[in-house]
Amino acid sequence: MYAIGRVLLIVGLIFIVLGGLLLLLARFDIPLGRLPGDFHIEGRNFTCVFPLATSLLLSILLTMILNLLARFLNK
């Protein structure tokens, strides 16, 4: 039970940090979701949003951050 509680606390802290980062990005008007390469299709009765460029950018950034963390923690 102790391990599950610890994991839930860590995941909760990660969500709090990510939420704070999203609020900061919105405050500084960084156009995530509106980059060139993000597809936005509107029809009469539907809207389809496919943020391809944003997904690729976030994937690259997270990969770099996690690689740096792994290198520092494995010393």
* Secondary structure element (H or E) that encloses residue 59, with its range: helix 52-73
Question: Measuring CA to CA, which residue among 35, 57, 39 is closest to residue 49?
Answer: 39
Give the residues across from 38 on adjacent strands: 51
Six-digit token string for 22: 């999203």
Residues 18-67: tens digit of each pLDDT: 899 888 888 888 887 888 999 999 999 999 999 999 999 989 999 998 89
Report field, pTM of the whole predicted structure over 0.75: no
In 3-state terms, what secondary structure has residue 14?
Answer: helix
Give the residues across from 47 on adjacent strands: 42
